[in-house]
Structure 1
Amino acid sequence: MPKQPMRIAGLALIAGASLTAATAQAQDKGSVHLAYVEWASEVASTNVMRAVLEQAGYEVEMTSLSAAAMWQSVATGDADGIVAAWLPTTHADYLDRVGDQVDDLGPNLDGTKLGLVVPAYSEADSIADLNEHAEAFEGKITGIDPGAGIMSLTEQVVEDYDLDLDVQSGSGATMTAALKSAIDNQEEIAVTGWTPHWMFARWDLKYLEDPKNVYGGAEQIHTIVRDGLEEDMPGAYAILDAFEWTPEHMGEVMLMNQEKDSDPYENAKQWVEDNQDLVQEWLPEA
């Protein structure tokens, strides 16, 4: 028993030495600057990549920008990289402008999607079914901000499928609040939805089939880095290049970020700690 305090003190010294070593390692490896756009999906992925790079010994700076400024910052070298490039459609114009000034490392997430979303218990399986159940859906589709791209596509859906439903605009928050209320009461509701989104981690949902393909096919989210990063920071480049996860993984982090007073960075660190098997696949071998 008398030896226990000495043992604890020894462990404390070892822990302190390890922390000092990790700090020194971070200073030796340098700083990585990540830019991102303030979307729930990209807040989640960029904070996770920050936590992973820090685990590998890098210091990380994050800057929130508009989509156009985000791409430009990588092209000019002001930022080292982004994990937030929606391709081939959403960010196509930005890639066309700066594609020869950046390095596309390929997709880090496959399976982004836009469409009409309903609870899994809904009797409707296709957009074409909505007129048959228009009364149960109260003659409306619950949407988000009127200027969003998915809203103009949904207006096109109403026209192309000759639907007897109106598109009701609002916000992302009002849309998910209406979805929660309907599910709590086992009611029908159709909302404008996209993957990845935290609502798929919280509720059992399904996309309505879109036989006319108005919403288009699936996209991917790519990692883009500045020219020269591979030569300047080969370790950081390797981690960014290896980063790949699923919409389900991202949904878990986004759902954590929905909790009251939660911190996206702290949530990302917790997720990284809880998913070390996957994270180790992104880290270069020692």
Structure 2
Amino acid sequence: MRKEEELEAVRLNKFLSHNSKYSRREADRLIEEGKVKVNGVVVENLATKVTVNDEVHINKTPIKEDKNKMPTVIIYNKPKGEIVSKKDPQGRKTIYDSLGKRYAHFMSVGRLDYASEGLLLLSDSVQIVDALMHSNLERIYKIKVNGPIGPKVESAMMHGLELEDATDGAFKGSKIRSMKFAPFLGYNIVSNGEKFSKIKVSINEGKNRELRRFFAHFGLDILDLKRFEFGGISLNNLPTGKSRFLSKEEYRNLRDFLSQNEEDDRSF
């Protein structure tokens, strides 16, 4: 198990975002403007880290984390057309607009892009979010592409793929150019046609639009992408745009995972 101070130290902007109404971007601006104090000292370094034992203020308002609060994890069935962010500079709808003030301080485990939908985990625990985000737990997606799944695509799914130029399918302006794609944990071609194909895939990461970049390399655009399972936690019958708490069994499995990975086993 990690030392307590290593376990609890987080970036100041993350601490502010987690425990206040501000997004990380807004927290960065407050820090740069000299409006944030840590232990009575104005802090302007964006790389500053704090623990729950530090005294943090925005202007004269104390920002605290309840050390005795039991962490909560929820599942949100994200619809297309929502941004996984507290605020969007373009004014688009965010998941927090739908979730409401009750979950304004929750953080998402990774992201689903604007055009993607499905299972999104959120928690009010920094440790849980970090543990799940950096895990190799299985993520299962249902995907629709605009063409056939050929032998080259299947071979890459089975054996992996390394690309010097993986910019096709990336966000415009992304600085990530080359990527290494691990072999998929599994896949099932539901339908395979010249115009459209549907496939269920299982991977253990899913960052940086990994799936969109992978299929784009073979000239296939992803038309629909829905995540319906993460680490054994499933959407089941949860309607689009709705959220629910984890079941007792799901919480028990999460506790086991955190304990096995030497994460914050004091959280539960």
If the length of structure 1 is used for normalisation, what is the TM-score?
A: 0.26
Q: Which has the higher contact order (CA 8 A, sep 6+)?
A: 1
Greater share of residues in helix: 1
Q: Could you say which structure has the larger radius of gyration?
A: 1
Return the structure number with greater strand share: 2
Relative to the length of structure 2, the TM-score reads 0.27
